[in-house]
Structure 1
Amino acid sequence: MIEIGARLSPGGTHSTTFDRGETLLARVGDVVVKAHPTGTDPAALHRRLATTERLGDILLPYLPIDGAPILQREGRLITAWPAGTPVDPDEPALAPWEQAAELLAALHRSPVPADLPRPGDTARVGRALDALPDSPATPVIRAAASTLPDWARGGPITAAGPRRALVHGDWHLGQLITFPELGWRLIDIDDLGVGDPLWDLARPAALFAAGIHDPADWQRFLHRYASLNPVINPDDPWAELELPARALLVQYAATAVRHAHRELRELDEVEVAFVEACQRVFDGGRDRSDVKSA
């Protein structure tokens, strides 16, 4: 991967390698090289990459490698991308909530491609539960998961929902980067697909419910999004968002426990907040007021 980056960014120095479990990233100069998860469907990835070319004002377009969008190495699919500046998690007051809402609304209003698969949103919930290790928090998370319908835990979806749009599939503030000449763009298209746009809103909703996002920031984001794509009432979003937000709380908690278990450490403060939110979900059953007040 470093060798690929060096070819695309001559003279660039290898600065960082990120191991994100299923995904490996290496930055060389102004290029990021990405090894996609084992088992990634090459045809689906090709279609997702083509969508970044069509929507380059919303999605960050890829960089060709030797004239091709994808390179295959040791059973992994490799892509390359321009390196930009991500949202700084240590400066929450500077987070681009309005710009994020504008990009997401623009994505959801884009023409729906006929050749894209379903997004990976509910499948991620199922994978997180499948990988959940035994721990003191595990019964709480599984209890919260039991309040979800099977399809929201990665099970088969037997019918299309009432809303159908081009969606990101794994949207959060970490999926934005900025460039001086371009402004903000959405990145990470592994789960891009055709589905319910409310599931893209569910991640910030879940983080708000767990006490991670500031209520004022959540309202800024929600009202700006709804002003551009009125699929939700920003003054009473939970009638629509409660179920996907509940599912994402379960995913966040399960992923947090898995990471802590793998790293042989206790849960940190944010991870504990996810587990506590799952406890409130279970205590509240299917009552949407639980997530609303969490």
Structure 2
Amino acid sequence: MLATQRQERILAEVRAHGAVRVADLVAALDVSDMTVRRDIAELAGAGLVRRVHGGAVAPETPARSTDEPGFEAKRTWASAEKAGVARAALADVEPGQSLALSAGSTTWLLASMIAADPALRPLTVVTNGLRVADVLHGADDVEVVLTGGTRTPSDALVGPVADATLASLRVDRAFLGVHGLDTDGPTTPNLAEAATDRALVRCAAATTVLADHTKWGTVGLARICGFDEIDTLVVDTGLSADARTHLEAAVDRLILATPAPVTGDAP
């Protein structure tokens, strides 16, 4: 199928339903995730659709900075890119460390990789992510500390209890998953989660942010922190040249990860 034919199909779906997911287009068109994203980018450039996290919507659809998708929805979006980002971030994990992992689908993938690799242990992992804690539960020589708190739709524990727990701790490195990323830094649609994420960053000697390239340009309601509080940012190679130029100047270390396949419930 030619690019023009694919784009006509994508446009027809958006006009018929108001929105379309990248994952659904990959299956329907039998092409790669990256091909679909390029087609959407061309349509967006022409003003025919608007790019959103995980797909495209009609151009007149308003962006909502308070949208908070659940974990099961998020884990299917840009899964190969997220796996590549998590794999690259794994290089910063060393035996004997204390780590803080935020809630999120990419940090869940990182936790899955940690659980599968005995060479990385012993470890202590502090987390406000229920899915992160679940995947690490039972792994030998991994002590898991849950923050406590109030549960969000994305299975994060947030609020005063979580914030107080994190304020009392000090860890070697935090790994922070984010909803959106723009020129001002990472964001989330949940005000309480933003506060808990800030507490997670403050308790760490160093912070690595994990964000697949589709997060760039997505802006949540609440800002988490500035780039000056992040020493490492891991994104995938789908990041645009303009975004790469900005981020190379904004953070100490920018890592571009190659997308990787994900099979089963975890790597």
Q: TM-score range by the shorter chain?
A: 0.3 to 0.5
Higher relative strand content: 2
TM-score scaled by length of structure 1: 0.30
TM-score scaled by length of structure 2: 0.33
